[in-house]
Amino acid sequence: MTNTALIVEDEIFVALDLERILTDAGYAVVAIAADREGAIAAAPQCSFAFVDINLRDGPTGPEIAERIAREHNVKVVFVTANPSQIGDNSPALGYIRKPFSESAILAAAAFACEGASPVSDDVIRLTA
C-alpha cells in the first residue's frame, strides 16, 4: 500500500490533473473525494493524500487531514490556494500552493511515500 493515493478535491479538473500526474508516475489513485464523507471512507486504503482546504462541504480539509492521519496513518500534503487556513498543529507534512506544477506534485508524493526531503521549493514543509 506504499504508493496508494487519495485525492481530496472538489474541482473535478484539478482532481483529474492530479490523478493523471500520479498515475503517469506509477502511483495508484484509490479515490477522488469531493467532501469529508468520501475522504474518510476512502482513507483506509491509502498511504498518502493530497487534500484541498475548501471542499464541497466547506473548509473541511484541515479536519479531514487530522482525522485520516490519526485514524489511518495517512500522510497528508495540502494542495491549496489558501495555506493560511491550514491552522496550527496540523498533522500534514506540508503544502503545495495552487496553481501547482507537475514537478511539485511528484516531489510531494515522493516526500509522502519515501520520507525524503522534497526536492522542490514549491513543497512547503509543515513538520520537522
Q: Nearest CA to 90 among 77, 104, 107? A: 77
CATH fold, domain 4-125, is Rossmann fold (3.40.50)
For residues 7 and 114, the model is more confident at 7
Mean of pLDDT values over 98-120: 89
Confidence of residue 62 (pLDDT cuts 50, 70, 90): very high
pLDDT tens for 11-22 read: 999 999 999 999
DSSP code string of 60-81: -HHHHHHHHHHHH--EEEEEES
Q: In this model, does residue 128 exceed pLDDT 90?
A: no
pLDDT value, residue 121:
84
Q: Nearest CA to 114 among 75, 63, 71? A: 75
Strands 28-33 and 4-8: parallel
pLDDT value, residue 116:
73
DSSP alpha helices (H): ranges in the chain? 12-24, 36-42, 61-72, 102-114
Lowest mean pLDDT, pick from 1-10, 33-42, 68-77, 115-124: 115-124
Residue with cell 507537475: 102
